[in-house]
Amino acid sequence: MASDWIKMRTDLYRDPKVCMIAQIVFAEDGELSQYVKRNSLRDMSVTRNVTRNAVIGSLLSVWGVMRNTGKRNGDDLECHGASLTVIDDITDMPGFGHALEAVGWVKQTDEGLVFERFFAEYNVDPAKPSASSAAARQQRYRDKKKAQLASQTLRDVDVTEGVTRDVTVTPREEKRREEVNTITSEGSGQFSLEPTSLDSADEKTTSPEYTEGFTRWWEEYPHTARRSAKPKCFSIWRQKKLEAVADKLVAHTRAMKSTQSWREGYEPASLTYLNQGRYEDDLPTVTPPALLQHNAPVTTGVPRGYI
């Protein structure tokens, strides 16, 4: 019983029965007024607001004490052996018990006091609201976690799209991404990194019948790990019908091999070269090694003897 609690309404201050109790208790000819006159030799004078506040505090005391000491009978609260004067003692306010009886909030019987419909109007069983509140809290927690998860997923998608959209790939990064390094073990237990071409994987599949022009261009392309995916390159070669301009691609590749970037290993992958149409790019300024040795002027275009 001690865990149950009394329902205190915010509008109890203006309840008509509260106002009636205040009028009865603090009437000039009431028991409380007579008690004050006998013990203090002066008349009692209080405002209406004070009387109602005093009644609310006294009601809470009465309901709380009777709830803990009484016995439930349906919706009624029964306190055997108690009388209206017991209510006066609880509140330290003479006449409060009779005022409660006058408004119908308590009834004096031969067995004691009966607070009719007490559990329906003034008391709440904590088990039911607690279970309801717990379920509501769990549901709110699950909804909150779902919302956080959905929000985090959207943020991850936005970040990923922003990163991939704004990235600028340099030739060095492209080379690192496409190269495949394998660790081989030697007899001494030392390890070395050896670049391997993806051609080995391609050759395991059935090789198509490569055309003469594609074969010449393929042999002309730098023999590095970036010359890979030969079947895929040949597929693009046929799709773009490059056999008719094979001489142009061979000449362009031969000229690009003399540039500084290609000599340093920054040539595009063979598949990228064909797929992006790099053979249409203008040839950069080229300085043949022989001319550099004699301080000869730099020429542009394709060096003589390279085509």
- Give the per-residue pLDDT at 233: 94
Cα–Cα distance measured from residue 230 to residue 202, given in angstroms and rounded to the nearest whole number? 7
Looking at the fold, whether 89 and 146 belong to one and the same domain comes out as no
| Tally of domains in the chain | 3
Domain annotation covers residue 143: yes
Question: Is the separation of the CB atoms in 81 and 18 below 8 Å?
Answer: no
Domain annotation covers residue 282: yes
Looking at the fold, whether 140 and 54 belong to one and the same domain comes out as no
Q: Read off the DSSP letter of residue 70.
A: S
Looking at the fold, whether 9 and 120 belong to one and the same domain comes out as yes
Question: Is the separation of the CB atoms in 88 and 94 below 8 Å?
Answer: yes
Q: Which residue, 89, 104, 124, sits at the end of a domain? A: 124
User: Which range marks the domain in which residue 145 is found?
Assistant: 127-167
Cα–Cα distance measured from residue 103 to residue 105, given in angstroms and rounded to the nearest whole number? 6
CA 130 and chain centroid, separation: 28
- DSSP for 110-176 reads SSEEEETTHHHHTEE-SHHHHHHHHHHHHHHHHHHHHHHHHHHHHHHHHHHHHHHHH----HHHHHH
Q: Which residue, 124, 154, 187, sits at the end of a domain? A: 124
Looking at the fold, whether 270 and 206 belong to one and the same domain comes out as yes
Question: Is residue 203 predicted with pLDDT exceeding 50?
Answer: no
Looking at the fold, whether 120 and 136 belong to one and the same domain comes out as no
Domain annotation covers residue 304: no
Percent of residues, the chain, with pLDDT higher than 90? 25
Cα–Cα distance measured from residue 116 to residue 77, given in angstroms and rounded to the nearest whole number? 7
Domain annotation covers residue 298: no
Residues 108-166 pLDDT 10s? 999 899 988 888 776 655 445 555 567 888 889 999 988 888 887 776 665 555 555 55
Helix-strand-coil split of the chain, %, nearest 5 = 55, 10, 35
Looking at the fold, whether 16 and 117 belong to one and the same domain comes out as yes
CA atoms within 13 A on the CB side of 104: 4
Q: Which residue, 68, 92, 124, sits at the end of a domain? A: 124
Residues 270-292 pLDDT 10s? 999 999 999 998 877 655 555 44
Q: What is the mean pLDDT of residues 14-35?
A: 79
Domain annotation covers residue 52: yes
Q: Could you tell me how many helices (H) and strands (E) the chain has, helices first?
A: 15, 8
Question: Is residue 48 predicted with pLDDT exceeding 70?
Answer: no
Question: Is residue 52 predicted with pLDDT exceeding 60?
Answer: yes
Looking at the fold, whether 154 and 211 belong to one and the same domain comes out as no
* Structure token digits, residue 83: 């009388």
Length of the chain: 307
Looking at the fold, whether 153 and 227 belong to one and the same domain comes out as no
Angle at 131 between CA 128 and CA 134, to 5 degrees: 145
Looking at the fold, whether 91 and 145 belong to one and the same domain comes out as no
Looking at the fold, whether 145 and 118 belong to one and the same domain comes out as no
Q: Coil, strand or helix: which one is 8? A: coil
In angstroms, the Cα distances linking 5 to 2, 67, 91, 99, 274 are 8, 9, 19, 23, 82
Domain annotation covers residue 187: no
Looking at the fold, whether 48 and 84 belong to one and the same domain comes out as yes
Domain annotation covers residue 307: no
Residues 224-278 pLDDT 10s? 999 999 999 999 999 999 999 999 999 999 999 999 889 998 899 999 999 999 9
- Of 38-47, 183-192, 238-247, 271-280, the poorest mean pLDDT is in 183-192
Looking at the fold, whether 44 and 146 belong to one and the same domain comes out as no
Question: Is the separation of the CB atoms in 198 and 204 below 8 Å?
Answer: no
Beta bridge partners of 195: 181
Domain annotation covers residue 181: no
